[in-house]
Amino acid sequence: MTGSLDNKTAVVTGSSSGIGFAIAQHLATEGANVVVNSRSQDRAEDAADEIDGGDTVLPIEADVTDRSSLQSLADRTVEEFGSLDIWVNNAGINIRGPAEELSLDDWQTVIDVNLTGTFSGAQVAGNRMIDQGTGGNIINISSMMGEQGQTGRTPYNTSKGGVNNLTRCLAVEWAEHDIQVNAVAPGYIETEMVDDAQDQIGFDKQDVVDRTPLGRFGSVDEVANCVTFLAEGDHFMTGEILHPDGGWLAFGWGSKD
C-alpha cells in the first residue's frame, strides 16, 4: 500500500463482484474511503466485509437506472466521508442474441444500464464535484467491444461505443472544473460474464487466447490497476480510453499462430 489515495473518497457502482469488486479493493488498498454498491444491500454488505479497509468501506444499495437512487448514493457518501473525489461507473449488463430477433425491451434494458446509467452516475458525481470546487476523477468502465462489431452483441457493443464518446464529451465539458473523465475498456477478462458468454454462445476460450497477442485472458486485478492509475489523477489525461486488452485491438486480424 502506497497511500496514493489517502483522504480521497471513491464510489464504485456494481462492485459486489468481478471487476467492480477488484476496483473497490485496489482503491481501498491505496487508502481511499470506498463505497461498495449493488442493487442488493445484502450483496453490497457481503462484498464490503471482504475488502480490507475496515471503517473506510461503506456498502450502499442503489440501482443505476434510478436517478434518485444514484443521487441518494452520492449524498450518503458525502454525509459519511465529507467529499466525493472518485466515481467509477462500473455497473453493466449484456443481453445476447441475433439483432433481428432482439426485442426492444432487451435493447432498452442494456442501454438503460450501460449507457444511460453511466451518464446518470457521471452527472450526479460531476455536479457534486463542481459544487465542491476541488476537481475529481470520473472513470467509466467500457469495453473493447465498443470499438468493433460482433455478432450477437449489438446492444452491448453499441452501448459501450456510446460510453466511449460520452467519456470524451464530459471530459471536454468539465475540464474547466478540473474534473478528469476517462474510461477503461477491457478485452477478454476472466470473469463470470465471460463464463456466461461461453455457455450461451459457445465460443472457445482457446480461440480468444490464439487471437490475443499476449496469449492469455486478462485478470480483474489488471483492470483495477488501470482504474487506480486514472483515479490518482497525476497524469494530465482526460477523455482517454485505456484498453487493457492484451493487444487485441492493435492486432488487425487472425490468429497469432
Residue 5 has pLDDT above 70, yes or no: yes
Specify the CATH number of the domain 9-190+219-236.
Answer: 3.40.50.720
Q: Give the β-pairing of 179-184 and 57-61.
A: unpaired
pLDDT given at position 52? 84
| Closest C-alpha to 135, from 236, 233, 16, 22 | 233
Residue 191 has pLDDT above 90, yes or no: no
Residue 55 has pLDDT above 80, yes or no: no
Residue 82 has pLDDT above 70, yes or no: yes
Q: In the structure, how many helices (H) and strands (E) does the chain have?
A: 9, 7
| Closest C-alpha to 135, from 149, 125, 121, 145 | 125
Mean pLDDT of all residues belonging to the chain: 94
The contacts of residue 207 (CB under 8 Å, 6+ apart) are 255
Which range has the worst mean pLDDT, 9-13, 161-165, 167-171, 208-212?
A: 208-212
Which range has the worst mean pLDDT, 49-63, 79-93, 127-141, 176-190?
A: 49-63
Does 55 or 66 have the greater pLDDT score?
Answer: 66
Cα–Cα dist 16/21, whole Å: 5
Q: Give the β-pairing of 136-141 and 179-184.
A: parallel
Q: Are 159 and 106 in contact (CB under 8 A)?
A: no
pTM (two decimals): 0.94
Q: What are phi and psi of 209, to 5 degrees?
A: -60, -45
Q: Is 156 a catalytic residue?
A: yes
Beta bridge partners of 242: 184
| Closest C-alpha to 140, from 91, 70, 174, 71 | 91
Residue 102 CA, distance from chain mean position: 25
| Closest C-alpha to 180, from 123, 242, 119, 237 | 237
Check 21, 81, 119, 156 and give the catalytic one. 156
Residue 193 has pLDDT above 70, yes or no: no
